Amino acid sequence: MAALTQEMKDMIATQQCFIGTVDGAGNPNVAPKRSTRVLSEDELMFTEGTGGTTFANVKSGSKVSVAVVNREILDGYRFVGTADCRESGILFEKAVEMSAKMGMPRPKAVVVIKIIEIHSLKPGPTAGKKIG
């Protein structure tokens, strides 16, 4: 598995992340997930609030791609991995508690992404190249 650097963690914490999935017919879907966070050295997570297309695709077994870019410094990353929906348990209960504190609806699930590959989205010769 690929490991996140501190620079990657900082970018995820401060920039908008977009989640890419596909349905069973191969139709792509990209959605912003403001709740994307670092869970561990090789895992990301987001709280699924709407239960829409991204959620359906993940529940159907779609691999996941997470893109994050900082336009100010012209740098970014794409994280590719497998996703696991958690609709109960400690992590889910923490998400429920946080959503309630923020006045948000109860989440449908927490999606945990196990990172398999990391690619550079920095312009230049490393653009799109696997770096982890």
In a domain, 94, yes or no: yes
Q: What is the pLDDT confidence band of residue 22, given thresholds at 50, 70 and 90? A: very high
In a domain, 73, yes or no: yes
In a domain, 58, yes or no: yes
Q: What would you report as the CA-atom Rg of the chain, rounded to the nearest whole angstrom? A: 15
In a domain, 76, yes or no: yes
The domain containing residue 42 runs over which residues? 6-120
In a domain, 126, yes or no: no
Q: What is the dihedral of CA 89, 90, 92, 96, to 10 degrees?
A: 120
In a domain, 131, yes or no: no
Using one digit for the tens of pLDDT, what is the confidence trace for 23-64? 999 999 999 999 999 999 999 999 998 889 999 999 999 999
Provide the token pair at 103.
């006045």
Closest CA to 63 of 37, 49, 76, 81: 81
In a domain, 1, yes or no: no
Q: What is the pLDDT confidence band of residue 104, given thresholds at 50, 70 and 90? A: confident
What CATH number does the domain containing 58 carry?
2.30.110.10
pTM of the model: 0.92
Residue 27, burial from CB neighbour count under 10 angstroms (0-12, 13-18, 19+): exposed
In a domain, 129, yes or no: no
Q: Please tell me the total count of domains within the chain.
A: 1
